[in-house]
Structure 1
Amino acid sequence: MMLKIKKLIDVPIRDACEAWNKGFADYYVNMQMTAGQFTFRFGWDELSPDYSFIAYYDGLPAGIILNGIITTNGKRLAWNGGTAVAVSFRDKGIARKLMESTMELYKQEKVDVASLEAFTVNDRAIRLYESFGYRTVDNLLFLKKTESEEKSLGNIPEIPGYSLHHGLAHEIRDLSFYQHDAPWKTQWNFIRNGESIVVKDRNGIAAAYALFQKRNGKIILLQCAADERLPNKPELFQYMINHLLQTESRTVSTYNLPEKNKLLINVLEKAGFKEEFTDQKVPLKQVFMKKIMT
């Protein structure tokens, strides 16, 4: 039996796509992709075939790990965008070998902080990541609400002294309270056709923002934050959520929403947002894990 680990840059794309699809064939949500979709994802998520690995077992694609590395605010940040081993090749130590190659590459690339997400119910994967020094820093929630058509036609209650401004995702990147430590795919530069709303006071100073994406007739809320110094953060959150619910979409879902955002979650739950589940009735909830490399 022969196990070989190679960089993705050195193998055919069809092998990488096969390893991905077979590795995630029994996953909690549908992760299957065509070769075109697989290739496209590298660009949007800033993943790199130079930083990613594939495992061959007896010459067959058996496992894969996708990685991206960027420099933000002077720090080298790495993200594990997916680790999977095909069912027929599990219990052979392949995932561990892929992680070993990844950790060695992170050191070579002088990564400061590495992050990843894993389903809360995926104990096996979480234990593997913990064995490499990752620690859970937060839980990530998927909440959803669909507003009735009657309510969506109502007026949005105003907040005296504040106004709401619609823009693109990149327009919030320089706000002093922008959430730079949020999960990788909720960052403004990874959101395809991303949009934003910013609440400003009467002096034009930004008080809060929401970062979102319109997809398949729904709104996906990626980030929502307010200036920590303000005492009226719940009201600001409610103002933005009401606005999103009264767009033509009427359905708003959160994506990888950090549980530490207690005030926001309280506003969402009071507004009627409910936990989402997979088709197999598994709660859509992930752990956010980080490893300090330096």
Structure 2
Amino acid sequence: MEFKTLADNTIEEILAVFNLSFSDYVIPFHLSKEQLVSKIEAEKIDLNFSVGAFEDGQLAGFILQSEKTENGEKIIYNGGTGVVPEVRGKGLVRKMYDFIIPLLKERNANVLLLEVIEENQRAIRAYENLGFTIVRKLLCFKGEINPAKYNEEISVRDLKDFQWDTLRSFWDIEPSWQGSVFVLDPIPESYIALGAFNDEKLVGYIIYNPAAKKVYQIAVDKEYRKQGIGARLFNSIKDTPEGQPVSLNNVDSSSKNTDKFLSEKVGLTNWLSQFEMKRSI
């Protein structure tokens, strides 16, 4: 078995192994080429320090990775780990990390970060054996948006000027990697960003990908909560496209108000939970 980065692999090669690896996952799923390209672009995955395991020259396992620097730390995010069924049981995930960690140290990386489905106890134990620890629980929601009562006095319009310091002041919880400022700044052209305004004052916002039907961030100014503003923002994307379920992933479980709002006011269901795990390099 040989280990090297994915810098020289085509999207088609990675896609084939990705889909085979996840075909019997806890929650099986399948990506098209366009969806994988979108994932790589959206999560800022860099194939130059993503790692692959190769058997007889053929890709058989991978770890997709991206990096950001935040609060003085360089964080390496695992955007997906997969091993094809035929070569499992050989400790390839550990061996891939053993290969790539020295390269990450050369990049002055400090922290490894990943997410794993709560029910995937085998993977959790494997990552714990690699030195990862659980740092928080993340809730994933999906469903059709209820036509909840909302504040009709609040206007909603495109948000063009991203004052992230102001938007951050609305937060109760830190977004996970996929909804982080690092990933969303600048906002991809395929995303919609809407602001809720009380007269000319920004009091809330939502960032949404209509093609993926996924909400990445939503927040309301703490001084304007419980006034139907969050419902107003969700209502503004309700028919984009009509009748299709919407998802919002990786909501920090410590925010009981967010959980209650999404479940009771918006009508979404917490269908899946994940653990965010970290380890120092």
Aligned counterpart in structure 2 of residue 91 of structure 1, from 89, 92, 102: 89
Note closer, same or farther for the CA distance 1:102–1:166 as it changes in structure 2 (3 Å cut): farther
How far apart, in 1, do the equivalents of 2:61 and 2:41 lie?
21
- Check whether the contact 1:54–1:63 (CA below 8 A) recurs between aligned residues: yes
CA shift at 1:194, angstroms? 1.6
Structure 1 position 266 matched with structure 2 position 266: no
Which residue is 1:16 aligned to? 14
Residue number in structure 1 paired with 2:98: 100
Corresponding residue of 2:169: 177
Tell me whether 1:166 sits opposite 2:157 in the alignment: yes
Give SS of 1:5's match. strand
Q: Report the Cα offset of residue 239 of structure 1.
A: 3.6
2:179 to 186, 191, 198: 186
1:285 aligned onto 2:273: yes
Q: Which moved more, 1:130-139 or 1:93-102?
A: 130-139
Contact 1:24–1:32, Cα closer than 8 Å, also in 2: no
Is 1:211 matched with 2:202?
no
CA contact (8 A) 1:21 1:32 kept: yes
Kindly provide the CA deviation profile for residues 196-234 of structure 1, in whole angstroms up to 9, marking residues without a partner as x: 2323445x4433322212126xx4222222344x37357
Gaps of 5+ in 2: none
| CA distance in 2: counterparts of 1:186 and 1:253, whole angstroms | 12
Find out whether 1:245 has 2:243 as its counterpart. no
- The structure-2 alpha-carbon separation of the partners of 1:274 and 1:199, relative to structure 1 and needing over 3 Å to count, comes to closer
* Post-superposition offset of 1:54: 0.7
Counterpart residue number, 2:124:
126
Tell me how far apart the structure 2 counterparts of residues 33 and 259 of structure 1 sit (CA, whole Å): 31
Distance in structure 1 (CA, Å) of the matches to 2:255 and 2:179: 14
Contact 1:237 1:264 in 2 (8 A): no
Checking the alignment, whether the CA contact within 8 Å between 1:63 and 1:94 is kept in structure 2 is yes
| 8 Å CA contact retained: 2:46, 2:64 | yes
CA contact (8 A) 1:25 1:32 kept: no
- Equivalent pair of 1:18/1:61 in contact (CA under 8 Å): no
Provide the C-alpha distance between the structure 1 equivalents of 2:143 and 2:255, rounded to a whole number of angstroms. 18
Alignment coverage as a number of residue pairs: 273
Secondary structure, counterpart of 1:255 in structure 2: strand
Q: Give the Cα–Cα distance (whole angstroms) in 1 for the partners of residues 83 and 169 of structure 2.
A: 39
Give percent identity, aligned residues only. Answer: 25
Unaligned runs of 5+ in 1: 277-282
C-alpha spacing 1:32/1:235, structure 2 compared with 1 (3 Å): closer
CA distance in 1, matches of 2:117, 2:232: 31
Superimposed CA distance per residue, residues 34-76 of structure 1 (whole angstroms, 9 cap, x where no aligned partner): 4x65455433321111111110134432211111113356542
TM-score if structure 2 supplies the norm length?
0.80
Correspondence for 2:29:
30
Partner of 1:52: 50
Secondary structure in structure 1 of the residue aligned to 2:47: coil
For residues 141-191 of structure 1, the C-alpha deviation after alignment (integer angstroms, 9 at most, x for no partner) is: 23233257xx58xx84336xxx33322587353424266941122232475
- Structure 1 length normalisation: TM-score? 0.77
